[in-house]
Structure 1
Amino acid sequence: MPPRGVQKGSKRARQYEHIKESLEDSGRSESTAEEIAARTVNKERARHGEATSSSRLSREDISSGRRGGLRSGRAAPRGRTRDQLYEEARRKNVKGRSKMNKAELERAVGRR
């Protein structure tokens, strides 16, 4: 079943089913395949203005297809973008974060 807000029979519903089936064929469990497919479809909806609300990162980050799993589920700091690190630093109240580059943000976020 496609994510909420996606009508049955629409392009996004077909995209969801296709992604889910390919993930299951490659050995992923059904629940994992459903989650990845829903996240991918929701991100594409956000990028194309079809979603009612979306985060800035969902709209401006490279597309799911082009990214090809570069950062999928990886907790390692090198996989996060500078913007993601900046947001984490903001949540942790790191002083001087606006002037930090990516490497400095990684160190600051990692210390806390």
Structure 2
Amino acid sequence: MPQRQWTKKEERQYDHIREEAEERGTKPKTAKEIAARTVNKQRAREGKTKTASRTSTEDMSSAKRGGQRSHSGPKGRTKEQLYQDARRKNIEGRSKMTKAELERALKR
């Protein structure tokens, strides 16, 4: 998917992002799309494109964001894991607690 107007550096970035995504288990087609969008967003930020969306120019950079909005990043232990820990520690009322309540109870 590298395009003719891309520089050698942008092509290397595209290849690197695509390979990393594939190593994480992303399907090749999706990995190519992620890589192309990332490089194109960076090009838009630098003013190398004719048009650019507001989020491309005003939002935090892709490198800084680093998957913060991917909805698959680390969010701590699951409620089930917390529940099992609470069970081992014999915490009263654990079956009716929310995830946040279980976390607080385990910290005590």
For Structure 1 versus Structure 2, the TM-score category normalised by the shorter chain is 0.5 to 0.7
Equivalent position of 1:2 in the other structure? 2
Compute the displacement of 1:57 (Å).
Answer: 1.6
Kindly indicate whether the alpha-carbon contact (under 8 Å) linking 1:3 and 1:42 is maintained by their aligned counterparts in 2.
Answer: no
Alpha-carbon separation, structure 1, partners of 2:68 and 2:3: 23
Q: Which has the larger radius of gyration?
A: 2
Q: Is 1:65 aligned to residue 70 of structure 2?
A: no
Q: Which runs of 5+ in 1 are unaligned?
A: 75-112
Moved over 4 A (4+): none
Equivalent position of 1:109 in the other structure? none
Scaled by the length of structure 2, the TM-score of the pair is 0.59
The amino acid across from 1:52 in the alignment is K
Equivalent position of 2:16 in the other structure? 18
Q: Please give the root-mean-square deviation of Cα atoms over the aligned residues, in Å.
A: 1.6
Q: Which runs of 5+ in 2 are unaligned?
A: 72-108
CA deviation vs aligned residue, 1:33-70 (integer Å, no higher than 9, x gap) = 00100110011001111112111221010000101112
Compute the displacement of 1:4 (Å).
Answer: 6.3
Alpha-carbon separation, structure 2, partners of 1:24 and 1:3: 20
Equivalent position of 1:56 in the other structure? 54
Kindly indicate whether the alpha-carbon contact (under 8 Å) linking 1:3 and 1:38 is maintained by their aligned counterparts in 2.
Answer: no
Scaled by the length of structure 1, the TM-score of the pair is 0.57
Compute the displacement of 1:16 (Å).
Answer: 0.3
Alpha-carbon separation, structure 1, partners of 2:41 and 2:32: 14
Alpha-carbon separation, structure 1, partners of 2:10 and 2:37: 12
The amino acid across from 2:2 in the alignment is P
Kindly indicate whether the alpha-carbon contact (under 8 Å) linking 1:2 and 1:16 is maintained by their aligned counterparts in 2.
Answer: yes
> Structure 1 pair 16/4, CA: closer, same or farther in 2 (3 Å)?
same
Alpha-carbon separation, structure 1, partners of 2:38 and 2:51: 15
